[in-house]
């Protein structure tokens, strides 16, 4: 699976022919706007950039990140934000960060008919200090449990960010849904 991040119409026009999936990531905050982290981008900005990417999308699936502050408070907030993203952009799905704590949110969004991509491991919206996740057997098992809960909640795919190769392999081989790696080795499906 080829998945790349696109933030603008020109980027999407170039990437669409080569990607199975384009992610409008909240990393937009740092890459385009020069912010210090991903936590300061808002839903309106994500929607604007999602619309831009969709203007040039022809074949790739487009998933848009739900930014920090737009979904964590409750499953109801998560559904409302996800519905707004889909209705205003025409994108194919949304992505949200978090493991077991976000299971009800994933279930609510997917239950409302909106495809959801999960995201575990290093989650920049929640963790301020970067570190490789899943480096010990205990942490790998914890991540596997989180991934299985997100899968069971209805996610169609899951991002594994900055996992050890062994953890990425364990999770990828244990799930029925595809994994997309961000710095998590070639053991991921994409």
CA distance 95 to 98: 10
Could you give the strand order of the β-sheet that contains 93-95, starting from the edge strand earlier in sequence?
3-5, 21-24, 61-65, 93-95, 116-121, 157-161, 179-182
CA distance 118 to 174: 15
Which one of 72, 133, 146, 161 is the catalytic residue? 161
Active site (annotated) includes residue 161: yes
Residue 105 burial class via C-beta count within 10 angstroms: exposed 0-12, middle 13-18, buried 19 and up: buried
Q: Which two tokens stand for residue 157?
A: 């795919």
Annotated active-site positions, please? 161
């Amino acid at each position: 699976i080829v998945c790349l991040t696109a933030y603008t119409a020109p980027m999407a026009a170039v990437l669409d022919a080569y990607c199975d999936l384009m992610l409008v990531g909240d990393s937009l905050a740092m890459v385009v706007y020069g912010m210090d982290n991903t936590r300061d981008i808002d839903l309106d900005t994500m929607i604007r950039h999602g619309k831009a990417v969709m203007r040039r999308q022809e074949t790739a699936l487009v998933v848009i990140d739900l930014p920090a502050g737009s979904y964590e408070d409750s499953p109801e907030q998560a559904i409302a934000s996800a519905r707004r993203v889909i209705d205003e952009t025409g994108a194919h799905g949304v992505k949200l960060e978090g493991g077991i704590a976000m299971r009800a949110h994933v279930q609510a969004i997917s239950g409302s008919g909106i495809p959801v991509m999960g995201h575990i491991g290093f989650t920049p919206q929640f963790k301020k200090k970067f570190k490789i996740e899943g480096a010990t057997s205990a942490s790998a098992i914890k991540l596997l449990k989180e991934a299985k809960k997100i899968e069971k909640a209805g996610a169609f795919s899951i991002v594994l960010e900055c996992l050890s190769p062994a953890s990425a392999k364990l999770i990828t081989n244990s799930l029925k849904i595809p994994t997309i790696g961000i710095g998590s080795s070639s053991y991921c499906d994409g």
